[in-house]
C-alpha cells in the first residue's frame, strides 16, 4: 500500500457541473424537444459490445469499475450519477458499468490495469486509454476531467511520452489531462518501467504553470515509496498550495487524507508543525464551505485534526474537546445519510472516526444498528470481528468473520471475504488445522465455479493467502494440510481458462 495513498471519497457537484449542461434545444414546438435522460444508460458488463458501438458511433467508451459494497462507489450513485448534468455528459460516451462480481469482470480489470474501486477509464474504439480518473475524487473535478476527455482521441500514454521527451510541444489541454489523470489508481501502468513518483517529479519540473507544477509535486509525494524530500521543499510547496483556494479544492482529497503526513514532513519542530497544521485546517474548512459544508467533509476535517494532534503528542491523550467534536460529527454524518447508497458511503468513515478517538463502544453500536438497515451487512462484519478480537472475544471474532463470508454475495466478493475468514482462523485458531483446511477448501470451490475467475483482486487475495498458509505451516506442522489443499487447487485449476492458478502454494 502506498504510504500516503489518496482517499477515494466523492463529494457534491460544484459549479463545474453546470458548465457541462447542454444548451437548450431550440424548437418552435416544445413537444418536439427530446426527452432528457433521467439515468445513465449503462451497458451492464457488456464490454465487447460497448467497443463495437463505439466503433460505429465514434464515441469513446466510459468504463466504470465498481462494486455494490464499495463506499465511494455508493457515494457516486447517491450523488454524481443522479445529477442531470452528469447524466447528459455521459451521452457523449458509450458508458459501460463493470461490476467486480460479474462474470469475467476480474479478467477485464486485469487487462485494463484497474487498481481499485471505483475507477473510471475513457478509451477510444481501438481500446487505447485516453485517460482514467479515481472515482473518489471531488465530483466537480471529476466532471471537468471527463468533459475534457470526451472530446479527445489522443492516447494518454502518447501524451505522457511527449511530456517527458519534448514538454514544450504539449498543448495546455494535454497538460491538463496529465494533471487530472488518476495516478493513484493506475498500478504504475502509465509510468511503465519508471516509478510513478519519479515521473511525477519530472512533470512537476516541466509543467507550464505553477498550479500544475504543485499538483504534480503533491502527487509525487503521495505516491513515493520513500519520503526523502527536504522539509523546506515540502513546507514551501504545502504553504503555496494552501494559499490558493482553487488549488485546495482541486487537491481536497489528497490534502484531507495525506495533509497531516505532509505537515509532518514539512516541519522543523513543534511550532512549525502547529502553524502548518492550523493553516491546513483553515484551508480545508474554506474549501468545504464552498462546496456545501457537508457533514462528511466536517468529519473528514476532524480526522485530519486528530492526526495532527497525535503527531504533536504521540503518547498523550487527545483533547476532550476534539474527542467530543469527532463524536458529534460522526453522529451528524450518520444523520445526514438518508438513503441506502449514502449510508454505505458514510458509515465506515463514521465508525473509523469513533475508533480513532477510542469510542469503540459507539463504533460497535453504529455497526450493529447498520446491519439491520444495510443491503450488504456482510461488509461491516469484519470490523465487528476486529472489535471482538480487541476485547479478547476470539470465538466472537471468528463467528463474525464466518457470518461475513456466509453472507457475502458475488464470486469475487465471496473470495475476498472468505480469505478474511481463513486469515482470521490462521491468526486466532492456528491449532485448528481441520477448520483451516475446510475453510480454505471452500474458497477453492468458490474459484472452481468461476471458469475465468483467477484474475486481478481474486488472484491477489489467493496469493496473499498462500503466503500466510506457508508461514502457518512452518510453525504448526501443516505440510500435509498444504499438500491436500494444493492438490485440490490443481483440480480446480483444470476448469480455469488459462490455468494461471496451478502454481498456487507451490
Which 3 state secondary structure label does DSSP give 92?
coil
DSSP per residue, 139-161: HHHHHHHHHHHHT--S-HHHHHH
Q: Quick check: 226 pLDDT over 50? A: yes
Q: Quick check: 456 pLDDT over 50? A: yes
- Confidence at residue 35, expressed as pLDDT on a 0 to 100 scale: 52
- Confidence at residue 11, expressed as pLDDT on a 0 to 100 scale: 29
Name the burial class of residue 477, with classes exposed (0-12), middle (13-18) and buried (19+) by CB atoms within 10 angstroms of its CB. exposed
Beta bridge partners of 131: 122
Phi, psi dihedral angles at 228 (to 5 degrees): -125, 15
- Confidence at residue 25, expressed as pLDDT on a 0 to 100 scale: 30
In whole angstroms, what is the distance from residue 450 CA to residue 493 CA?
10
**485-502 per-position pLDDT tens digit:** 999 998 888 766 556 788
In whole angstroms, what is the distance from residue 237 CA to residue 231 CA?
10
In whole angstroms, what is the distance from residue 478 CA to residue 481 CA?
5
- Confidence at residue 405, expressed as pLDDT on a 0 to 100 scale: 98
- Answer with the residue of higher pLDDT: 427 or 500: 427
Name the burial class of residue 454, with classes exposed (0-12), middle (13-18) and buried (19+) by CB atoms within 10 angstroms of its CB. buried
Give the residue carrying C-alpha cell 486509454. 129
CB atoms near residue 210 (< 10 Å): 11
- Confidence at residue 498, expressed as pLDDT on a 0 to 100 scale: 58
**For residue 80, what is the DSSP state?**
G
In whole angstroms, what is the distance from residue 276 CA to residue 235 CA?
8
From residue 321, alpha-carbon distances to 94, 297, 302, 328 in Å are 50, 19, 11, 10
Q: Quick check: 26 pLDDT over 70? A: no
Beta bridge partners of 66: 99
H/E segment holding residue 258: helix 252-266
Contacts of 478 (CB under 8 A, 6+ apart): 433, 436, 469, 472
Q: Quick check: 376 pLDDT over 90? A: yes
Contacts of 51 (CB under 8 A, 6+ apart): 61, 94, 123, 125, 127
Helices (H) and strands (E) in the chain, counts: 24, 5
Segment 342-364 shows an average pLDDT of 96
CB atoms near residue 73 (< 10 Å): 27
**311-344 per-position pLDDT tens digit:** 988 888 999 999 999 999 999 999 999 999 999 9
Segment 96-118 shows an average pLDDT of 88
- Confidence at residue 113, expressed as pLDDT on a 0 to 100 scale: 85
In whole angstroms, what is the distance from residue 370 CA to residue 71 CA?
14
Segment 346-375 shows an average pLDDT of 97
Q: Quick check: 364 pLDDT over 80? A: yes
Segment 207-220 shows an average pLDDT of 96
Q: Quick check: 451 pLDDT over 80? A: no
**124-152 per-position pLDDT tens digit:** 999 999 999 987 777 888 899 999 999 99
In whole angstroms, what is the distance from residue 374 CA to residue 369 CA?
9
- Confidence at residue 499, expressed as pLDDT on a 0 to 100 scale: 62
Longest Cα pair distance anywhere in the chain, in angstroms? 83
Beta bridge partners of 121: 63, 132
H/E segment holding residue 408: none
- Mean pLDDT (the chain) is 89
**271-298 per-position pLDDT tens digit:** 888 999 999 999 999 999 998 889 999 9
Amino acid at each position: 500500500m502506498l504510504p500516503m495513498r489518496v482517499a477515494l471519497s466523492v463529494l457534491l457537484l460544484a459549479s463545474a457541473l453546470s458548465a457541462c449542461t447542454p444548451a437548450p434545444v431550440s424548437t418552435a414546438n416544445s413537444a418536439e424537444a427530446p426527452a432528457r435522460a433521467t439515468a445513465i444508460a449503462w451497458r451492464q458488463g457488456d464490454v465487447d459490445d460497448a467497443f463495437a458501438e463505439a466503433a460505429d458511433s465514434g464515441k469513446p467508451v466510459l468504463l466504470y469499475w465498481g462494486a455494490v459494497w464499495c463506499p465511494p462507489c455508493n457515494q457516486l450513485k447517491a450523488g454524481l450519477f443522479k445529477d442531470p448534468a452528469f447524466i447528459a455528459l455521459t451521452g457523449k460516451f458509450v458508458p459501460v458499468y463493470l461490476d467486480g462480481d460479474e462474470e469475467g469482470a476480474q479478467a477485464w480489470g486485469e487487462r485494463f490495469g484497474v487498481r481499485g474501486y471505483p475507477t473510471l477509464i475513457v478509451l477510444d474504439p481501438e481500446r487505447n486509454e485516453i485517460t482514467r480518473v479515481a472515482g473518489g475524487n471531488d465530483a466537480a473535478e471529476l466532471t471537468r476531467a471527463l468533459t475534457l476527455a470526451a472530446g479527445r482521441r489522443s492516447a494518454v500514454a502518447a501524451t505522457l511520452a511527449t511530456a517527458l521527451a519534448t514538454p514544450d510541444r504539449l498543448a495546455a489541454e494535454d497538460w491538463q489531462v496529465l494533471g487530472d489523470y488518476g495516478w493513484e489508481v493506475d498500478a504504475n501502468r502509465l509510468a511503465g518501467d519508471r516509478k510513478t513518483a519519479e515521473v511525477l517529479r519530472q512533470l512537476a519540473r516541466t509543467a507550464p504553470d505553477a498550479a500544475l507544477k504543485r499538483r504534480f509535486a503533491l502527487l509525487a509525494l503521495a505516491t513515493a515509496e520513500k519520503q526523502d524530500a527536504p522539509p523546506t521543499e515540502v513546507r514551501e510547496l504545502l504553504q503555496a498550495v494552501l494559499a490558493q483556494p482553487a488549488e485546495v479544492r482541486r487537491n481536497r482529497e489528497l490534502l484531507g487524507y495525506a495533509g497531516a503526513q505532509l505537515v509532518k514532513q514539512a516541519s522543523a519542530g513543534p511550532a512549525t508543525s502547529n502553524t502548518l497544521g492550523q493553516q491546513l485546517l483553515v484551508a480545508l474548512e474554506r474549501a468545504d464551505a464552498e462546496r456545501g459544508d457537508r457533514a462528511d467533509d466536517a468529519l473528514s476535517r476532524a480526522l485530519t485534526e486528530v492526526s495532527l494532534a497525535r503527531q504533536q503528542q504521540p503518547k498523550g491523550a487527545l483533547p476532550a474537546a476534539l474527542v467530543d467534536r469527532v463524536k458529534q460529527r460522526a453522529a451528524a454524518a450518520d444523520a445526514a445519510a438518508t438513503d441506502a447508497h449514502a449510508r454505505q458511503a458514510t458509515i465506515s468513515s463514521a465508525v473509523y472516526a469513533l475508533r480513532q478517538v477510542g469510542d469503540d463502544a459507539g463504533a460497535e453500536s453504529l455497526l450493529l444498528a447498520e446491519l439491520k438497515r444495510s443491503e450488504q451487512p456482510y461488509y461491516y462484519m469484519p470490523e465487528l470481528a476486529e472489535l471482538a478480537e480487541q476485547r479478547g472475544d476470539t470465538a466472537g471474532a471468528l463467528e463474525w468473520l464466518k457470518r461475513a463470508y456466509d453472507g457475502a454475495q458475488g464470486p469475487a466478493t465471496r473470495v475476498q471475504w472468505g480469505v478474511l475468514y481463513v486469515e482470521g482462523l490462521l491468526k486466532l485458531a492456528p491449532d485448528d488445522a481441520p477448520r483451516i483446511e475446510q475453510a480454505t477448501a471452500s474458497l477453492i470451490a468458490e474459484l472452481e465455479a468461476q471458469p475465468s475467475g483467477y484474475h486481478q483482486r481474486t488472484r491477489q487475495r489467493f496469493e496473499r493467502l498462500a503466503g500466510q498458509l506457508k508461514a502457518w505451516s512452518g510453525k504448526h506442522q501443516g505440510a500435509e494440510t498444504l499438500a491436500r489443499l494444493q492438490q485440490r487447487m490443481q483440480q480446480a485449476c483444470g476448469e480455469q481458462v488459462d490455468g494461471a492458478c496451478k502454481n498456487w502454494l507451490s
